[in-house]
């Protein structure tokens, strides 16, 4: 705890020297405990030949540890004010590339392909809590050939990532994760582990990617179209949610028939369907 307080003071001094005030807009909350940072690196299971994509390096405390374990680290920071801070803090780390930009707007495949040289890709992120789900969905449904993702998220988001059908936390994110990887919560963190402390409890979640999805689907894009539509209006029946939001160019009767053909009653809600159920439904619509 004493060392964490010292690190907090050091961070405040560095930020003050650069004239940087932390922004709520970017959801900036930095870890000050070296032990916690090492636990994140351990959860990421990085090997010496790996390429690491870090989203949201902040002041570079985790970035430095990642660079000691990996061959290359590409760190993307949205706040341009922190770039001089990162350059100063990481000046002696020669395997790190810093990029300033919005990860939601960047072509991650293009950035990584420049110097990845075929290495295994690990993604590590302390995600801004206000945009956690969009970033995760971009990665999960994108074309990056990652092998493991380790992310710091709100505890409620972690619960959504590992949720089972029928639970309150279950949704589109749960299914996207289940289709791509096996998730596990590595550990939880209280607000006081951060500077400044957030108002919520946090969790570190690691996801090991499947070599192949656990269930095969004829049309992957259609699968996630149906999933998103089902949970965009989760209080509606599956039929009504698909009719109102899936852009299927089908009549309500045709949707009802397809849902019935897939083996479900027409008054079922999407939250009751497992990944395998959604795959069966997508294959019926596909045909």
Pairwise CA distance, residues 5 & 9, whole Å: 6
Domain assignment present for 215: no
Tokens of 118: 């075929």
Q: Are 206 and 43 in contact (CB under 8 A)?
A: yes
Residue 1: what pLDDT?
A: 52
Higher pLDDT, 252 or 249: 252
Domain boundary among 189, 209, 229: 209
Residue 141: what pLDDT?
A: 87
The domain tally of the chain equals 2
Domain assignment present for 118: yes
Examine the domain organization and report whether 134 and 50 are in the same domain.
yes
Examine the domain organization and report whether 107 and 156 are in the same domain.
yes
| DSSP secondary structure, 84-125, as one string | HHHHHHTTT-TTEEEEES-TTTS-HHHHHHTT-TTPPEEEEE
Residue 11: what pLDDT?
A: 87
Examine the domain organization and report whether 84 and 200 are in the same domain.
yes
Q: Are 111 and 99 in contact (CB under 8 A)?
A: yes
Examine the domain organization and report whether 10 and 116 are in the same domain.
yes
Specify the pTM: 0.92
pLDDT tens digit string along 148-200? 999 999 999 999 999 999 999 999 999 999 999 999 999 999 998 998 888 89
Domain boundary among 168, 187, 209: 209
| Domain region containing 254 | 220-286
Domain boundary among 209, 238, 257: 209
Examine the domain organization and report whether 229 and 205 are in the same domain.
no
Examine the domain organization and report whether 250 and 127 are in the same domain.
no
pLDDT beyond 80 at 26:
no
**Where residue 137 sits, what CATH number does that domain have?**
3.40.50.150
pLDDT tens digit string along 28-80? 889 988 999 999 999 999 999 999 999 999 999 999 999 999 999 999 999 99
Pairwise CA distance, residues 227 & 241, whole Å: 10
């Amino acid at each position: 705890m004493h060392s964490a307080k010292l690190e907090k003071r050091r961070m405040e001094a560095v930020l003050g020297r650069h004239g940087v005030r932390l922004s709520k807009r970017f959801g900036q909350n930095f870890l000050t405990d070296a032990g916690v940072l090492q636990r994140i690196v351990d959860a990421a299971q990085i090997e010496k030949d790996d390429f690491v994509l870090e989203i949201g390096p902040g002041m570079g405390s985790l970035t430095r540890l990642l660079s000691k374990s990996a061959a290359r680290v590409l760190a993307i920071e949205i706040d341009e004010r922190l770039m001089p801070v990162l350059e100063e803090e990481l000046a002696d780390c020669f395997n790190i590339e810093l990029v300033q930009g919005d990860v939601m707007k960047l072509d991650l495949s293009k950035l990584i392909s420049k110097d990845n040289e075929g290495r295994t890709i690990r993604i590590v992120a302390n995600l801004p809590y206000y945009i956690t789900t969009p970033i995760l969905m971009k990665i999960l449904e994108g074309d990056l050939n990652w092998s493991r993702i380790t992310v710091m998220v709100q505890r409620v988001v972690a619960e959504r990532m590992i949720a089972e059908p029928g639970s309150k936390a279950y949704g589109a994110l749960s299914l996207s994760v289940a289709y791509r990887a096996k998730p596990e919560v590595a550990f939880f963190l209280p607000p006081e582990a951060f500077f400044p402390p957030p108002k919520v409890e946090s969790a570190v979640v690691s996801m090991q990617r499947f070599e192949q999805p656990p269930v095969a689907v004829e049309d992957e894009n259609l699968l996630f179209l149906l999933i998103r539509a089902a949970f965009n209006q989760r209080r509606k029946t599956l039929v009504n949610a698909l009719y109102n939001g899936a852009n299927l160019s089908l009549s309500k009767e045709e949707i009802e028939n397809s849902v019935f053909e897939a083996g479900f009653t027409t008054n079922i809600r999407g939250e009751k369907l497992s990944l395998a159920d959604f795959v069966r439904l997508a294959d019926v619509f596909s045909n």
